[in-house]
Chains A and B, each alone.
Chain A
Amino acid sequence: MGKRFFVMLLTLFVIVSFAAYPTGPIKVVVPYAAGGASDVQVRIIAKYVKQLFGWDFAVVNITGGGGSTGAREVLKAKPDGYTVLWYHQSIFSNFHVGTAEFNYYDFTPVCIATRGNRVVVTRPDTPWKDLKDAIEDAKKNPGKIRLGAEIGATSHFQVIPMQMAANNGFILAASSGGDMDRITKILGGHMDLSPIALSAAVPFLKSGELKALAVLSPERDPFLPDVPTAKELGLEELVFTQDQMFFMPKGTPEEIVKTFANAIKQVIQLKECVDELAEKAFAIPMYMDGEEMLNFLKWEDERFDRFAKAAGLKK
């Protein structure tokens, strides 16, 4: 009797404690600086999570190591659902070039929330109409055109297929410091073309200071409907999106993961949230969880692995 009562009490306690999740603020680690695309998106989501569920997201920026420093803080956090990582495809690039010793399977994947596209840009005075032209040009005049990337980061993986298509005719020009740094270098003529996050590139595309050569998404981007996808230009491999996803530390109880994922699912369907994501971050909602998300992660991970090997980045 006593034993059964105890078990019942324990079960009840467990149910109540899950039902009560979250009882306090949830720390959301953004492994990039405040004001970047990742940061702005999660702060918008946080706002509507508060509105809809009354949950407090404490957004914390932990920068460094191409995102791996912040990720590591979550990796070693308690698996209680109160520390969450907001991350994207860098998890694969960091692992395959050796910046990080962990991969997606060292976390509990929760859900994917948004998708941002990437676009290859150049100065308006370059002779190319689209990415195909640039690649042909590099093939014919090797060692003349500077293709910019942040070495070891996702942008590097994006230029590998371009470089392969051009028979290594591009000069790979390194940058440090992300998309804005490369935009500045292109504007100043220190690089000729580079893949950039749409959110960073759009203001310059609209003002005519940059022109778009290709979008690296599976379909045309709603914000740049006239720009062809790389696939349409015959570059099948060149599909690279920036998908923002939530991870929790490994061993987080399934109930908590589900509760969290469901909340996010509802929030990113809110019209106001969708509009704000589009307006401020040029991101579109893209929800995936469970099995579907795992398959997607696996597929991406294999691609990054393959490119890292092809380019000799693999450590």
Chain B
Amino acid sequence: MEVLVQTVTVGFSQIFQPINLLLLFVGVLWGMIFGAIPGLTATMGVALAIPFTFSMKPISGLVLLTGIYIGGVSGGFISATLLNMPGTPSSITTCFDAYPMSKQGKSGLALALGLFSSFFGGMLGVFFLVSLASMIARAALKFGPFEYFSLAVMAFVAVSSMLGGNILKNLIGIALGLILSCIGADPITSIPRLTFRFTELQSGIALLPLLVGLFCIPEIIADIESEAERIVPEESRGMKLFEVFEAAKILFKQIGNALRSFAIGFIIGVFPGIGGATANIISYGVARSSSKYPEKFGTGIPDGIIASEVSNNASVGGAMVPLLALGIPGDAVTAILLGGFMIHGINPGPLMFKYNPDLVFGVYAAQFWGNVVMLLLGVLLMKFYIYSLSFPKHYLLPLITVCAAVGAFGLNNRIFDIWVMLIFGVVGYVLKKLDFPVLPIIIAFVLGPIAESNLRQGLTASAGSFAPIFTRPLSLTLLILAAFLFVLGRVLVKKGESSKC
């Protein structure tokens, strides 16, 4: 509570200095633009802004970076809704319902739902971050390799058992994802695997180029094939203020879904290395499995948008917890943020509250107001976003492709990653033509390595004994939960619903 009070008194007064307020606006706007363009992510938005913060006061730099982070994670829903391309990895499942809804002529409402859900997830996330950060961080320390292994197993079982559609195709997809994730240095010994003597493959395949390749490139090709001159029709209405209120009303009617998605997103955010994309997929899966009408998911219902967008913004607050309390980044963006902190001579972690308390409160306040700014800018600028995406496709598609390539290149500065993106673009296109789901590939690609490296780390620490997986209470609980979710998923699939997710 004391922290909460000081955030309001100390932190807010820092944010309300004109320069910081301006930077917050610039940051959120910058982030939203990066988030909305497929291939450019929050991570890259933050990375590119870091040099600009060198000459700033620490608090101003942190405000700018925090703003970009919030804007970046939120902006992803815009291209997901209008173009069916996830703007960032954390909005994969937003595509599933927001795009069909937009196709039904309800673009405004779909965008408003994305915007308000982001705001809700982000705000609640700040509240939990501020009031519980150090407590949660301590609790998370109890999670050892075996717990991480069981957590990954649970996530994996939960999502894959809920995948509808053709079981054989799903299994093939999962196998493909696992194989792809094995390429590169072995996570424990760094010995190269499946590289076929290509040194380029030694650091493995990166998530972003793979994701852009599998999700965006086939969509771009499909857009080229289609007869329409514009992807987003010009007459597609902008979002109106009343639609935000309507979205808010829908969200509060579905408060159970929203809170559950928040909890999933926040908790997954806290665990380093798992991140927004996983949060997004799991919370969509869980929302569907606990729905009374799971068959409607994927057809353009609000439930899916809410689950997806609340959870990814909740994971922002979650990922800040270990960063601020322990100095451990929770995901790719917070890893870059950590860099931004260090450059200003601030070592996040146990001493930050002692030596730089006003900075901590400043960051908290920036998170709070960043979400408000995000909502405001969203309402004000949605017309502009729609306008810029409604250009004739012979202008728009090359631009998107270039941005995607820049994004693939930008995270690790390697030309090789652009090749990865293009190759998987072709693969994704073929899979799409074969009506083959790509989500299982991504799930296996993300979760496989987490399970593997943690299991192996655990086994070295237990001198080869598997017993701790079942004897450590937390680990066992997670496994029981996994079994429960597996059964639930199977029952659902038997009930017969759509093939999405």
Are B413 and A61 in contact, CB atoms less than 8 angstroms apart? Answer: yes
Interface string of B338-368 (1 = CB under 8 A from A): 1111110101011100100000000000000
11 A–B pairs (Cβ distance < 8 Å), ordered by A? A33-B336, A34-B50, A35-B335, A35-B342, A40-B339, A65-B185, A68-B203, A171-B461, A187-B326, A188-B143, A203-B327
Q: Are B188 and A33 in contact (CB under 8 A)?
A: no
- Any B CB within 8 A of the CB of A39: yes
Q: Does A309 contact B (CB under 8 A)?
A: no
Contacts of A101 in B (CB 8 A): 199
B residues in contact (CB < 8 Å) with A: 47, 50, 54, 141-145, 184-185, 187-192, 199, 202-204, 272-273, 326-328, 335-336, 338-343, 345, 347, 349-351, 354, 412-414, 453, 456-457, 460-461, 463
CB distance from B234 to the nearest CB of A (A): 41
- A228, CB-defined interface residue at 8 Å: no
Are B412 and A204 touching (Cβ within 8 A)? no
Q: Give bound CA distance, A99 to B54, whole Å.
A: 35
5 closest A-B pairs by beta carbon, nearest first, are A35-B339, A64-B203, A34-B339, A188-B141, A190-B144
Closest to A190 in B: B144
B188 touches A151 (CB 8 A): yes
Distance of A38 from chain B, by nearest CB (Å): 11
Q: Indicate whether A184 sits within 8 Å of B456 (C-beta atoms), given known contacts A35-B341, A35-B343, A207-B354.
A: no
Given A174-B456, A176-B457, A203-B349, 4 further pairs, Cβ under 8 A: A97-B191, A176-B453, A180-B327, A280-B342
Establish whether residues A62 and B351, one from each chain, have CB atoms under 8 Å apart when the complex forms. no
Contact string against B for A residues 33-77, beta-carbon threshold 8 Å, 1 for contact and 0 otherwise: 111100110010001000000000000111111101100110000
Contact A184 B350 (CB under 8 A): no
Asked whether B190 lies within 8 Å of A66 as measured between CB atoms, the reply is yes
Does B144 lie within 8 Å of A188, measured CB to CB? Answer: yes
The reply to whether A62 and B456 form a contact with Cβ atoms under 8 Å apart is no
Given contacts A152-B189, A180-B328, whether A204 and B350 have CB atoms under 8 Å apart is: yes
Decide: B336 and A174 in contact? CB cutoff 8 A. Answer: no
B342→A173 contact, CB < 8 A? no
CB distance from B138 to the nearest CB of A (A): 9
A39 to B340, CA, bound (A): 11
Residues of A in contact (CB 8 Å), total 54
Given contacts A72-B199, A101-B199, A143-B463, contact A184 B335 (CB under 8 A): no
Interface: A191 (CB within 8 A): yes
Contact residues in A for B185 (Cβ distance below 8 Å): 64-66, 99
Q: Is the CB of A62 within 8 A of B414?
A: yes
Given A63-B412, A203-B349: A153 in contact with B335 (beta carbons within 8 A): no
What residues of A have a CB within 8 angstroms of the CB of B412 in the complex?
Answer: 61-64, 69
Near B by CB (< 8 A), chain A positions 12-47 give: 33-36, 39-40, 43, 47
A209 on the B face (CB < 8 A): yes
* Contact of A172 with B by CB under 8 A: yes
Contacts A34-B47, A174-B456, A191-B461 given; indicate if A97 touches B340 (C-beta within 8 A). Answer: no
A115 at interface (Cβ–Cβ under 8 A)? no
Q: Is A132 positioned at the interface, with any CB of B under 8 Å from its CB?
A: no
Complex: how many Å from CA A174 to CA B335? 22
Within 8 A of B (CB), among A118-156: 143, 146, 151-153
B414 to chain A, nearest CB (A): 6
A55 vs chain B, min Cβ distance (A): 15
Question: B342 contacts which chain A residues (CB < 8 A)?
Answer: 35, 39-40, 280
Contacts of B461 in A (CB 8 A): 146, 171, 173-174, 190-191
- In the bound complex, what is the Cα–Cα distance between A74 and B146 (angstroms)? 38
Residues of B near A276 (CB, < 8 A) are 345
Q: Does A251 contact B (CB under 8 A)?
A: no
What are the residues of chain B within 8 A of A188 when measuring CB–CB? 141-144
A254 beta carbon closer than 8 Å to chain B: no
Question: In whole angstroms, what is the CA distance A156 to B273 when docked?
Answer: 22
A66–B202 alpha-carbon span in the complex (Å): 10
Q: Does chain B have a CB within 8 A of A206?
A: yes
**Cross-interface CB contact of B190 among A34, A47, A152, A184, cutoff 8 Å:** A152
A47 CB to nearest chain B CB (Å): 7
Shortest C-beta distance, B185 to chain A (Å), equals 5
B347 x A203 contact (CB < 8 A): yes
Which A-chain residue is minimally distant from B449 (CB atoms)? A176
In this complex, what residue of A is CB-closest to B457? A174
Residues of B within 8 A of A64 (CB): 184-185, 202-204, 412
CB of A98 within 8 Å of the partner chain? yes
Most buried by B among A63, A146, A174: A174
Q: Is there contact, CB below 8 Å, between B339 and A39?
A: yes
Residue of A nearest to B141 (CB): A188
- Shortest C-beta distance, A235 to chain B (Å), equals 23
The answer to whether B463 and A209 have CB atoms under 8 Å apart is no
For residue B350, which residues in chain A have a CB less than 8 angstroms away from its CB?
Answer: 203-204, 207, 209
Q: Which of chain A's residues have a CB closer than 8 A to the CB of B54?
A: 47
Interface contact B336-A35, CB-CB below 8 Å: yes
The answer to the question of A255 belonging to the interface, with a C-beta cut-off of 8 Å to chain B, is: no
A65 — nearest CB in chain B belongs to which residue?
Answer: B203
Bound-state Cα–Cα, A175 to B192, Å: 17
Closest CB in chain B relative to A297 CB, distance in Å: 21
The docked-state distance in angstroms from the alpha carbon of A203 to that of B353 is: 12
- Given A35-B336, A40-B342, A153–B204 Cβ distance below 8 Å? no
| Pair B457/A173 contact, Cβ less than 8 Å | yes
Report yes or no: A68 in contact with B341, Cβ–Cβ below 8 A: no
Check B463–A171 contact: CB distance below 8 A: yes
Flag whether A279 is at the interface (Cβ < 8 A). Answer: yes
Say yes or no: A151-B343 contact (C-beta < 8 A), given A61-B413, A203-B351, A207-B354.
no
